[in-house]
Structures are given as C-alpha cells and as structure tokens.
Amino acid sequence: MIDGTNWSNTNFANPFVAKYRNAGPRSNYFTGPPASDKADGYSPILRYADVLLIYAEAANQSEGSPSTAAYAAIDEVRVRAGLAKLPTGLSKENFDKAVLEERS
C-alpha cells in the first residue's frame, strides 16, 4: 500500500508491469484477453548501470558532445567498478566508444 490503495480489496491483488500488458485493440485495460497481464516473473529488467549508460549515450547524441550530466552518468558506473573517471574533453565519437566499451 504505497499510495493508500488497499489492493487486497480489489480484483488486482497481484503486481503487474503495465508496460508489458496486453494492450491490443480488443483488450480490456486490466484483464487484456487472451493473455493475463499479471507479472509472471519474466518481465525484462535493466541494471542501473545500463540505465546510466543509456542516459550518457542519449545525452551525448542529443547535445552533439558529452555534457557534464553525460560524464556524471558514465563516471558513476566506472567509479563503482573501481575505475578512474573518464578524462574530460572527449569528442562525441570518442565518448560513444567509451560508453560502448563500458557495455562490453
């Protein structure tokens, strides 16, 4: 009960991930025939490090060069792994290579 909703008094007692529910043209928002939309333990999961690297790459692409926020995101991953922070002043292409290297 996070927002005050008592889920035990509803038909929706099980947690589910709305992003992956059956939302086709004939589906009901909550029941979504023919498949159930309740979580079955097989929902995709992203590691926090992946989220930070996705953000760093997106910031670099959208701004045309690595921003302070992009450096902060990739450096958080590197420092957590015991590596040094990236040197500042990298080109857009070199920053992309650094992000790709962190993912591998």
Q: What does pLDDT average to in each consecutive run of 10 residues of the chain (104 residues)?
A: 59 55 54 48 75 95 94 96 95 96 90
pLDDT of residue 34: 44
pLDDT of residue 9: 58
pLDDT of residue 104: 84
DSSP SS3 for 98: helix
The predicted model scores a pTM of 0.60
pLDDT of residue 28: 54
Domain segments of the chain as ranges? 1-44, 48-103
pLDDT of residue 42: 58
pLDDT of residue 46: 76
Please give the CATH architecture assigned to the domain spanning 48-103. Alpha Horseshoe (1.25)
CA–CA separation, 55 and 75 (whole Å): 12
